Structure 1
């Protein structure tokens, strides 16, 4: 179960001895859609920054439609939600010298 991308309420509990090992286990997958970290906020944020997933929930934080949503690695492509999701539909163009006489 821990090596598959399952879209449902599933909790896989795996033992680890060190924080570094826990982060290595979390990152040892071809997927990276979402993750969860719980702990003292500043420390949990440091751990969350090391996990290769498109979205990390810290201490029970729920979804936020203003935050971009999308995965890393083989978990989807592009982003949904928020300004980054909107920008997926835009194509930037620079027009130079438009005011030249």
Structure 2
């Protein structure tokens, strides 16, 4: 998925304009929240994208691994998968959506 498409889909989700609206549990996701808030953007050959240049740098007290874009990529993948490929009432023949 192109970066601009991901950005639009996830941004619309946070705005309540998609089927799913993501929420973060603030008590359990301090690192993810900080990583999302501090993820930079750069212009690439195909438009804008996340700046991942710091991912190759060694970890330091000022630049913790959990505050980099790896965690935000995992969140992006989870949200996009849930939004684009919803699993309805059945999973492997077992009802998961209530009583049938």
Structure 1 or 2: larger helix share?
2
TM-score normalized with structure 2 length: 0.23
Q: Higher strand share goes to which structure?
A: 2
Q: Which has the higher contact order (CA 8 A, sep 6+)?
A: 2
Provide TM-score, normalisation by structure 1.
0.23
Question: Bigger radius of gyration, 1 or 2?
Answer: 1
